[in-house]
Amino acid sequence: MVPAMTIPTEPIGSIPRPRALQEALAEHAEGRLSHAELAKLQEQATVDTLARLEQLGCAVLVDGEQAKPSFATYPIAGLATLAPDGAVIPFADGHVRQLPRLAEGPFRYQVHADTYLRDARRHTDRPVKQAVIAPSALSLLYPSEPLAGYPREAFLRDLANEAEADIRRCLDGGAHCVQLDFTEGRLSLKLDPSGALLDDFIALNNEVLGRFIGDERRRLGVHTCPGGDHDSTHSLDVDYTDLLPRLFRLQVGNFYIQLASEPDPERVLRLIAEQLRPGVRVFVGVTDPIGTTLETPEEVRDRVLLAARFIPVDQLGTCDDCGFSPFADDTSTSRDLAFAKIEARVRGTALASQALGL
């Protein structure tokens, strides 16, 4: 039995898909598998994900993004007004991901995240967290040259409205909390070291977040990390110093901050402590999803105890640094290793709670 925990711990989102689902995704892309057959396998993978997380003692569950094409592009799956040659995101190992480009307006979500949430909640009575993509990431879809009859200002208004609806539908659908994935925050400082692009991202996200108040805002969070794909990152070399002061301007009740893979976690914790304000909780990363070494519960415990030296315990939580497979085709981390790391996080957080006398 996993001991009862006082320090909350939550997953970030994605978990590697089972091999059968990976094969089905490839077959579907080639036209050899129907959408109905793929959806059946995605549902099976979701059910298995929820059940395994429950067995590990997770108090808050996620569906593992088993039905999402990626953490970033789910809202635009099937959107006909896209061209393939959008923004390129380079990773440290040399591989790239490329976003599509909006070719004409108006911009509308094709899929809302509450679709995944409602499917998951049919299979569990436990609290379910839902991750959504931050509007700042989708702002990268607009091309550098203005679209005829659809200026950038009109696009940003539509984007903000669509992002608000995405979040609100999840809250109304019973999400325990809604987490904005903001991996482009750290990347923006590599693209524009002046910080102007990051300031634009923060302003856009706050335009949406400012539409939520009270308990709604307490159920909102934002996740930052240096990206994780095929065991590589896109911005781990970008210092947190310029990001964290701006990040804490976001109008949310929860912050999920990658920490386990940082070379100097104590320095980052000092930065967090300087920015911490009353009424928010900081979930620090205590497992590295792209690391091949399995953390022990004792290692996790020690990471939590270090964090507790800088963050008041009643404002502290733990999480994984990032999702384990943010893009559906990423098979670099095995499903079993991901669950083992999650178990270490759950048990290690419980050990830290005990050590702190909670």
* Residue 19 pLDDT exceeds 80: yes
* Residue 5 pLDDT exceeds 70: no
pLDDT in tens, 278-290: 999 999 999 999 9
Query: What's the CA gap between 348 and 344, in Å, rounded?
Result: 6
Q: Which range is least confidently modeled, 85-89, 207-211, 314-318? A: 85-89
pLDDT in tens, 139-148: 999 999 999 9
Query: What's the CA gap between 327 and 349, in Å, rounded?
Result: 28
Numbers of helices and strands, H then E, in the chain: 12, 11
* H or E stretch at 179: strand 178-181
- Is the domain spanning 9-355 CATH 3.20.20.210? The answer is yes
Angle (CA) 197-76-63 rounded to 5° is 95
pTM: predicted TM-score of the whole model, two decimal places: 0.94
Q: Which two tokens stand for residue 351?
A: 């050990």
Query: What's the CA gap between 33 and 173, in Å, rounded?
Result: 31
* Residue 105 pLDDT exceeds 90: yes
Report the percent of the chain where pLDDT is more than 90.
78
pLDDT in tens, 221-263: 999 988 877 777 787 888 999 999 999 999 999 999 999 999 9
* Residue 325 pLDDT exceeds 90: no
Segment 254-278 shows an average pLDDT of: 96
Question: What band does 69 get if pLDDT is binned at 50, 70 and 90?
Answer: confident
Cβ(5)–Cβ(353) below 8 Å: yes
* Residue 107 pLDDT exceeds 60: yes
SS3 call for 174: coil
State the sign of the Cα–Cα–Cα–Cα dihedral 153, 155, 156, 160. Answer: positive
* Confidence (pLDDT) at 331: 80
- C-alpha separations of 208 from 77, 190, 240 in Å: 22, 24, 24
Query: What's the CA gap between 212 and 208, in Å, rounded?
Result: 8
Residue at 36: amino acid letter: A
State the sign of the Cα–Cα–Cα–Cα dihedral 55, 301, 288, 246. Answer: positive
Question: What band does 1 get if pLDDT is binned at 50, 70 and 90?
Answer: very low
* Confidence (pLDDT) at 95: 85
Compute how many other C-beta atoms are within 10 angstroms of the C-beta atom of residue 299.
16
User: Domain locations in the chain?
Assistant: 9-355
* Confidence (pLDDT) at 92: 80
- C-alpha separations of 146 from 88, 100, 152, 207 in Å: 19, 16, 7, 22
How long, in residues, is the chain?
Answer: 358
Q: Which range is least confidently modeled, 32-41, 146-155, 227-236? A: 227-236
* Confidence (pLDDT) at 299: 98
* H or E stretch at 39: helix 35-55
Report the percent of the chain where pLDDT is more than 70.
99
Query: What's the CA gap between 304 and 300, in Å, rounded?
Result: 6
